[in-house]
Amino acid sequence: MGHHTCCNKQKVKRGLWSPEEDEKLIKYITTYGHGCWSSVPKLAGLQRCGKSCRLRWINYLRPDLKRGSFSHQEAALIIELHSILGNRWAQIAKHLPGRTDNEVKNFWNSSIKKKLLSHGTLSDFSMIFPNNLTTTSPNPSFDNFYPLNSTPINSIPISTNSPLILQVDHQMNNNHLNADLNLNPVVPSLINPLSFDSISNDPTWFNFNYPHPQHDLDYNQNVLKQDNSNSMLTSNISLNYTNGENFMDSRNAAIKTHQDLLMVPLLPKLSEMIKGNGGIVESSPPAASQQIESMVGSSLPCTFPNGYIHPHYGMNGVHEMEQIECMHMSSFPSSSPSSSKSSPSSCNTQFMMNPSLPTSWES
DNA sequence: AAGGAACCCAACCGCCACCGA
DNA sequence: GTCGGTGGCGGTTGGGTTCCT
């Protein structure tokens, strides 16, 4: 059986968690941390399996979880990531702050999959991501992914006042990049220049208090691991922030900053990816490896708003995960009240966002 | 209004990888 | 090298809710 030893030693309760159990678990973990999960139930006074406690915490009780409907951006990102990663939900969820693999998986199975199937196959992405936004729908769906009054993903405005972007610009300009600007004819057109001033003056273009969960160490460590290939980028950014603006002064904050930085590159428009792939995407779930292979050849430009190309993401031969790094979107602020109320600390980070975008993915 | 179908999603199951003894 | 313990992941289930007829 798949039960762990901790589940066999004692009689464990199964099924839905009661509010009292939740309270006990929250109280224990916020006080002591989870440590070894197998010991949590005993120490917390719960008749549960440690594995169950872990799952409950990760999928439901974590303070940084973003509850509620998926936004259109999140849905788009999930679709894109799924086209590359397949059913690796945990990997996909890592690119969606505040979302769990379970949530992403459920969302995919309940909403996206159904809609994709209802439209035949993924081969008809033009239907899903229409370029011509001339129609409106009261219920935006795959039929009309972006409502008329919203900004398509490929033109999400970016604040030029963002210290993040400026720092990157500076770093790349002066020190490390020999980026061939000619390689990136796309980016300038992706940024709506009219948006800059309006956004920088827009009260809704604010600094998010991005919840920085106490238990996010593992996550940060993962980011660190991923940073091995980008160490210079990470270190430079951390230095700039700590020295320049006293913006954040912890190591974790620097890591988080890098995480945020990686969210700066624009999400490549899916139709462009497909164009680069011969205009055809065969099918959704099993296509991962094939698509990776083909997409590598098709080049997925990883571009910064200033037009530079990430030094580690060449136009050809890019790694799968590196491609995904490029696809990070920055428009996922945690908007749930729960996420802001209980965060022990926060990372004050400016995200790109489009305030006019609808906030949820409507089914 | 009622019953069945469809949907949603929290939770469980089974497997695998990693780590330390 | 092996074995047990543990964390993590993806697939699946089951029960509650919503929708439809």
Residue A56 pLDDT: 92
Residues A54, A80, single domain; the answer is no
A72 within domain boundaries? yes
Domain count, chain A: 2
DSSP type of residue A153: G
Q: Is A183 helix (H, G, I), strand (E, B) or coil?
A: helix
pTM over 0.75: no
Domain boundary residue, one of A103, A120, A137: A120
Q: Which residue is nearest to nucleotide C13 (CA to C1')?
A: A15
Q: What residue spans of chain A are helical by DSSP H?
A: 5-9, 19-32, 40-44, 50-56, 72-85, 89-94, 101-107, 113-118, 125-128, 163-171, 187-190, 193-200, 217-226, 231-239, 251-261, 270-276, 288-298, 320-326, 337-341
A41 within domain boundaries? yes
Strand C proximal residues, A:249-268, Cβ < 7 Å: none
Is the CB of A56 within 7 Å of strand B?
Answer: yes
Q: Which residue is nearest to nucleotide B7 (CA to C1')?
A: A110
Is the CB of A105 within 7 Å of strand C?
Answer: yes
A163 within domain boundaries? no
Q: What is the pLDDT of residues A273-309, one digit of tens each?
A: 333 333 333 333 333 334 433 333 333 333 333 333 3
- Give the separation between CA A92 and CA A281, rounded to whole angstroms: 19
Residue type, A224: L
- Give the separation between CA A173 and CA A126, rounded to whole angstroms: 37
Q: How far is CA A248 from CA A141, A236, A239, A242, A271, in A?
A: 39, 14, 10, 6, 38
A287 within domain boundaries? no
A234 within domain boundaries? no
Chain B bases near protein CB atoms (7 A cut-off): 7-16
A150 within domain boundaries? no
Closest Cα partner for A258 from A237, A244, A279? A237
Tens of each residue's pLDDT in chain A, 363 residues:
345 555 554 567 888 899 899 999 998 998 888 888 888 988 898 889 889 999 999 988 888 888 788 888 888 889 888 888 888 999 999 998 889 999 999 998 888 877 776 665 444 443 444 333 333 333 333 333 333 233 333 333 323 333 332 233 333 333 333 332 222 322 222 223 323 233 233 322 222 233 333 333 333 333 333 333 333 223 322 223 323 233 233 333 333 333 333 333 334 444 333 333 333 333 333 333 344 333 333 333 333 333 333 333 333 345 555 555 555 544 443 333 333 333 333 333 323 333 344 445 544
A43 within domain boundaries? yes
Is the CB of A115 within 7 Å of strand C?
Answer: no
Residues A55, A23, single domain; the answer is yes
Domain boundary residue, one of A48, A63, A78: A63
Domain boundary residue, one of A42, A63, A84: A63
Is the CB of A87 within 7 Å of strand C?
Answer: yes
Is the CB of A258 within 7 Å of strand B?
Answer: no
A254 within domain boundaries? no
Residue A155 CA and nucleotide B17 C1' are separated, in Å, by: 41
Residues A23, A51, single domain; the answer is yes
Is the CB of A336 within 7 Å of strand B?
Answer: no
Structural domain boundaries, residue A38: 10-63
Is the CB of A362 within 7 Å of strand C?
Answer: no
Is the CB of A106 within 7 Å of strand B?
Answer: yes
Residues A80, A94, single domain; the answer is yes
A85: CATH:
1.10.10.60
